[in-house]
Structure 1
Amino acid sequence: MKLTKGKEQRFTGHPVSPGIGIGPVHEATEPALTITAHALDEPDIAPELDRLDDALARSRHQLQKLKNRLAQLPEDSQAEIAPLMDVYLHMLGPSRLIRGVKSRIETGRHCAEAAMQAESEAQAEAILALPGPDRAGKQRRADEVRELARRVLRNLTRQPFRSFTSLPQGAVLAAESLRPADAALIQPAQIAGVITAEGGIEGHTSVMLRALGLPAVLGAEGVLEAADPGALVILDGDSGEIILNPSRASLDAARARLAEQAKAKRALSRLSRLPAETRDGTHVELQANLELPFELPLIARSGAHGIGLLRSEFMFMNRAEAPDEDTQTRIYRDIIDAMDGDPVTIRVLDWGSDKEVEALSPYLPETPEPNPALGLRGIRLLLRHPPLLETQLTAILRAAAHGPVRIMLPMVSVAAEITETREILKKLWRRLKRRGGVALPEALPPLGVMVETPAAALAAPVLARHADFFAIGTNDLTMYTLAADRGMPLSAQLYDPLEPAVLRLIHMTATFARAAGIPVSLCGELASRPQVSALLLGLGVRQFSMHGNAIPRVKQAIRATTLPSCVALAERALGAESAAQVRALLEGE
């Protein structure tokens, strides 16, 4: 590979897909979209609605073709990406977006282009303006609305889409931004890596690039302006560094890192067949978090022994009404069957007024809550609306006949929330038996709770009398303990799960669970950090649940330590005065 002329320049962005990419940079621009708006006369309304329906049909046809193209990709990548296409296909049906567009045409006499542009932007801005800390989730949902609008607008105006067919073999793709549907068109064997000026670690585009196995750095400002077409570039999908016009020394170093990563990847792949245990034989259960079904192949590759946290919220997204019992049963059953006998822990709906989902709007307070994080969410919302909870529990009971299942309750603060839910579960069990013809598990699934508030941790001895297991959610536990919202810039610096106050609550919960003889897992972001694994073991946690990608490295960290050293580390961390001191202890290990 020849060096290109020009001075070496370095840039940084968000590392979203690991690996080293080396090749000539080639930009793939998106053709500008031109919209001409005009008002309609009364006789024009019906033909305009027909024109919109035609553009929607074309959009659905294109997305179905994208799904069919995925058959050319590796099987695991197909399974990860195809369900995302289903999300967009659903939104092109009688969704809130399309109903809003048609209303603007019919009542406002907007042309279809103006109606689509105005309605999609209004809905996207409304999503972004919702209160609550989940900025990444809100941005992802707003981007979904805008992406669908762009597709329909191009079909309404018959303007072309972006194409990658002209890129040379081994090129590094550079773009201002990359949409999920664009990423689905990339042939992994053709591209060495991806760089964009916009984007971040969250979102469907990042998921797709990881599924394709392409090194990628998003949100790297300045690269497109500085790079001449064909200039050599190195991108590091682990660190986020980009080197334009690399020197011979930089190129040699990148090639060496590429060889090291290939070697490390082979070593990590071998770990999937080895147990997760310390050098002195302490066994640790490593499970995976599941947010969307397309992540199942990743879990299978990771070596996870079951799903420690199945976030059931995805079933309620992009729907006008909550999914019925049969729909939920089928989805749970498919996931349980895919796990082939490994346990699946299903967390019932964890939602509140800080998130806007059309299917759940009838269940949320009519007046916006001044502080949604402290309001009607999680099990509080479900117990306020028993039919919503009963439908979900009934579906879980039916699906539990297909494999081992546990049921987990979010945002539990007091024991009464567990006992009330357990009585509902028993009632539904009896009802299903009377219904007849319904396959059921031999016994009721274990019922556990998320420990994600200081109240739950402090009340752990009482909660343990009524719960079958604990799962510590460090994301919310950190927020509530430190009164710091990680999504707000002014308080983000206070949000740190390594603060000794948070660690003491984790240790307290694990200690009380062990005394009560019930299992305790940790399923927050902290579980996925290999450098913290020894500390968590020392605090008493023996079950971790995390994103599938993190499991091999966490297992590697566990197999490199001993329990006595973990306990000694935890004792020092619990006596520390700050997260900075804890971090220094970890770095000294």
Structure 2
Amino acid sequence: MSRLSDALGQLEDKRLRERVDDLEDMNQRVQRVLAGESPGDAIALPAQAIVIAHTLLPSQLLELDRDKLAGICTAAGGTTSHVAILAASMQIPMLVAIGDAVLAVENQAQLAVDADFGELHVQPRSDQISTFRDRQQDNAVRQQQEQAAAAADCVTIDGVRVHVCANIASVADARSAVEFGADGSGLLRTEFLFMDRDTAPGLDEQLTVYQEASDALGDRLLVVRTLDAGGDKPIAYVEQRFEENPALGVRGIRLSLRDRGMFETQLEALLQVRRASPLRVMVPMVSSVEEVEEVGDMIERIRSRRPGSQPVHLGIMIETPAAALITDRLAEIVDFFSIGTNDLTQYTLAMDRGEPLLADRLDALHPAVLALIARTAEAANAAGKPVGVCGGAAGDLLAAPILVGFGIRELSMVASGIARQKARLRELSTKDCEKLATRALAMRSAGEVRAMMREFAVTGDVK
């Protein structure tokens, strides 16, 4: 097992290197079972504990006593790691990749984790402690109130509706999204159907899953992303060459157009989903008009040979600077857009989103990234095509007002963040959001943008 971990740790793709933790997780769990220990017992913690570690494995997180866990800080790791995603879904404040200095914090030291602002306070003063405790109490009351109102429409104070949706990856997620108050799903990932198996899923299997997800959401929005494999998500039964840089290789739509049989089966299944409003089918990693035209031609061929196919709206993810820069031309042939801010940030800044050393610099509020988002939203709105965001920025309380200011009216995020985001947006006017967006575009760095948005969050004043 150690040899496998070493080999995985030497891979070029940093997101795959992050999977070393998952392999080590499995190794430790197996060893505990062989030693006669129970892998499911909760690890005892003192009340209001903040756990500090170099890294944390998913199983270790699940074994922590949730009732006593107040927060987590890790020296390494990444925001895309499984444990970070798991902590977010469990609504546990977590800071990742904050550096080895955190490991020098003494056991039993008094700490305060401010995940909203990405800050760890060591031995805070008595007045700070009082402030943090007041915030905790206020937050607990606020969360109850927000969740009670989560299912209601999200309308700004000047009457503009923003659809706040959930990113999902299963039928169970679709049901959970409704419970969290989602206005639908702006991203149904389909990779779970294709991964960890020896053959591609057939038409009937796929149709069953898509139909069940649609039924769970009812008449709410549903956007299904076609297979986004390749790169850091290889598929065992699809032949792929070794790539020096998988993030820039055959992934997303590039892979689907190379394996047309598998792609046609997925499209055929999607064309049979029955729902009150047309299903939205979204293509990932687009960088040219020709790619979208090919997909459109495939859909028409399937429709012609299969009478009774259901209507669908074809859209694309804006994840590459190339797509963002030609949104006006893409708007002529697609029905909607969804901006994937995670990859768009990675490709715009030329920074690997899986590299912990760059985690603090990989920020969707960088003015260059914001300029591409603004350009996309402007072109989409000019063409009368819906435009949303399904990347991490959609759930970012500081980023969302700027996105609304650009004219974006659909945000899709981790379901647990929906209630808070709706509550925040209900307090704002689109006019203020537009002013903030204009100011953000003129700033020099993501840090300046975040400082402005933090000030606005506290004061509510737009200078």
Q: TM-score, normalised by structure 1?
A: 0.66
2:418 maps to 1:537? no
Relative to structure 1, the CA distance from residue 495 to residue 562 in structure 2 (aligned partners, 3 Å threshold; closer, same or farther) is same
Match of 2:340 in 1: 473
Structure 1 pair 158–494 and aligned structure 2 pair: CA distance change class (3 A): closer
Deviations 1:285-313 (A, max 9, x none): 21121245554455223322111011222
Residue 323 of structure 2 is aligned to residue 449 of structure 1: no
Structure 1 residues 314 and 252: alpha-carbon distance in aligned structure 2, compared to 1, 3 A threshold = same
Whether the 8 Å contact between 2:191 and 2:227 is mirrored in structure 1 is: yes
- Structure 1, residues 182-220: CA drift from partner, whole Å, max 9, x if none? 65566756x455768787565555555666666777896
Pick the structure with greater CA Rg.
1
Of 433, 437, 441 in structure 2, the residue corresponding to residue 570 of structure 1 is 437
Preserved CA contact (<8 Å) 1:216 1:235: no
Correspondent of 2:137 among 259, 275, 279: 259
For 1:76-123, what per-residue CA distance to the aligned partner results, in whole angstroms no more than 9, with x for missing partners?
A: xxxxxxxxxxxxxxxxxxxxxxxxxxxxxxxxxxxxxxxxx3xxx444
Asked if 1:226 corresponds to 2:107, the answer is: yes
Within the candidate set 136, 147, 150, 2:28 is matched to 150
TM-fit CA distance, 1:355: 3.9
Question: Whole-Å Cα distance in 1 between the matches of residues 406 and 249 of structure 2?
Answer: 31
What's the counterpart of residue 285 of structure 1? 163
| In structure 2, C-alpha distance between the alignment counterparts of 1:397 and 1:584, rounded to whole Å | 46
Match of 1:524?
391
Return the offset for 1:127.
Answer: 4.0
TM-aligned CA distance change 1:222 to 1:314, over 3 Å: farther
1:377 aligned to which of 248, 251, 265: 251
Kept in 2: contact 1:188–1:212 (CA 8 A): no
Root mean square deviation of aligned Cα: 3.7
Cα displacement (A) at 1:486: 3.7
Q: Which of 399, 424, 427 pairs up with 1:557?
A: 424
User: For the residues of structure 2 that align with 1:507 and 1:168, how far apart are their CA atoms?
Assistant: 46
1:468: Cα distance to partner? 0.9
Aligned length: 448
Contact 2:151/2:182 (CA < 8 Å) preserved in 1? no
Q: What does 1:30-429 align with in structure 2 at a 5 Å threshold? A: 117=1, 121-132=2-13, 134=15, 138-139=17-18, 141-155=19-33, 157-161=34-38, 164=41, 167=44, 172=49, 180-181=58-59, 184=62, 188=66, 191=68, 193=70, 203-205=81-83, 221-222=103-104, 226-227=107-108, 236=113, 238=115, 241=120, 255-291=133-169, 295-296=173-174, 298-360=176-238, 362=239, 364-365=240-241, 368-400=242-274, 404-429=278-303
Change over 3 Å in CA distance of 1:578–1:317 after alignment to 2 = same
Contact 2:391 2:412 in 1 (8 A): yes
Cα pair distance change 1:341/1:538, threshold 3 Å: same
2:374 counterpart of 1:507: yes
* Code of the aligned partner of 1:389: F
The superposition leaves residues 47-66 of structure 1 with CA deviations (integer Å, 9 ceiling, x where unpaired) of: xxxxxxxxxxxxxxxxxxxx
Counterpart code for 1:306: G
Does the Cα contact within 8 Å between 1:188 and 1:213 map onto a contact in 2?
no
Tell me the CA shift for residue 234 of structure 1. 6.5
For 1:521, what is the secondary structure of its paired residue?
strand
Q: What secondary structure sits across from 1:358 in the alignment?
A: coil
Inter-partner Cα distance in structure 2 for 1:456 and 1:561: 30
Q: How far did 1:526 drift?
A: 1.6
1-side partners of 2:48 and 2:159: how far apart?
47
Offset of residue 283 of structure 1 = 1.5
SS at match of 2:292: helix
Supply the distance in 2 between the matched residues of 1:170 and 1:489 (Cα, whole angstroms). 30
Note if contact 2:391-2:413 (Cα within 8 Å) is conserved in structure 1: yes
- What's the CA shift for 1:457? 1.9
> How many angstroms does 1:448 deviate by?
0.4
Residue 522 of structure 1 deviates from its aligned partner by 1.6
Following superposition, the deviation at residue 260 of structure 1 comes to: 1.6
| Separation (CA, whole Å) in 2 of partners of 1:196 and 1:461 | 43
Instruction: Please list every run of 5 or more consecutive structure 1 residues that lacks an aligned counterpart in the other structure.
Output: 1-116, 434-439
Instruction: Indicate the larger mover: 232-241 or 124-133.
Output: 232-241
State the TM-score, normalizing by the size of structure 2.
Answer: 0.82
Cα displacement (A) at 1:240:
6.7
